[in-house]
Amino acid sequence: MYEIIHLKKGDRFTEVGEYVVLSGILACNVSQHLVKFISQGDMFICDSYFSNGAVVYESKQDTKLGKLIQQDSILYSKRRERQKNEITQLLLDRIDLLVLPTRERIMVFLFQLANQIGTVHEEDCHIPRVLTQVEFSKHVNCSREYLFGIRKILIEENWILKSREWVLLNWNNWEKGMERIAEDSEFK
């Protein structure tokens, strides 16, 4: 059994321990830079030892967490090491992302979001609204206006649906497109 923790949208969370997301979505930020999203069923560790306070989780919607009771310190250490390696790799991927042209940065970021928190329905992938335009444009390192212009182009080219949320059309094409970007730019 575990202790239940309720977070409201916008709450920041750094309490040391191991958790499972029971509902909602958290953003994992390192030094105020988005690294990944964590959603229902995902486990994570808040650990000041690894990050010295640099890793902060932010609730992007009302969220419920279960705090796991630590029973085996060896398994806990292995999970903590695995998470540390994952975050390190995600930071390296973020650096690789920044060398891509803006359009490709936006598409790669949408693909990452879709894989982390998206829901495939029929052939399309729906991404919940967890980022403002300002947050999105900051992450891909462009202005909101430029993001809007690229969004219009992606709509015209049938990559995304014209809607208030991000809907990636024909998920199979996105997977193929990301393979092509990876091959062309050495982004993996």
Cα 31 from chain centroid? 15
Residue 113 or residue 179, greater confidence: 113
Q: Where are the alpha helices (DSSP H) in 27-101?
A: 48-51, 73-98
Provide the pLDDT confidence category of residue 182 given band limits of 50, 70 and 90: confident
Do the two domains 3-83 and 99-185 of this chain adopt the same fold? no
Read off the pLDDT of residues 158-168 as tens digits, 9 standing for 90 and up. Answer: 999 999 999 99
Q: Are 127 and 117 in contact (CB under 8 A)?
A: yes
Which tens digits make up the pLDDT trace of 5-25?
A: 999 999 999 888 899 999 999
Residue for token digits 């990559």?
A: 159
Q: Tell me, which fold does domain 3-83 have in CATH?
A: Jelly Rolls (2.60.120)
pLDDT in tens, 69-100: 877 788 888 998 999 999 999 999 888 888 99
CATH number for domain 99-185, candidates 3.20.20.70, 1.10.10.10, 3.40.47.10, 1.20.1050.10: 1.10.10.10
Domain residue extents for the chain: 3-83, 99-185
| Amino acid at position 3, single letter | E
Spatial distance between the Cα atoms of 66 and 119, rounded to a whole number of angstroms = 23
Please tell me the distance from the alpha carbon of residue 107 to that of residue 141, in angstroms, as a whole number. 13
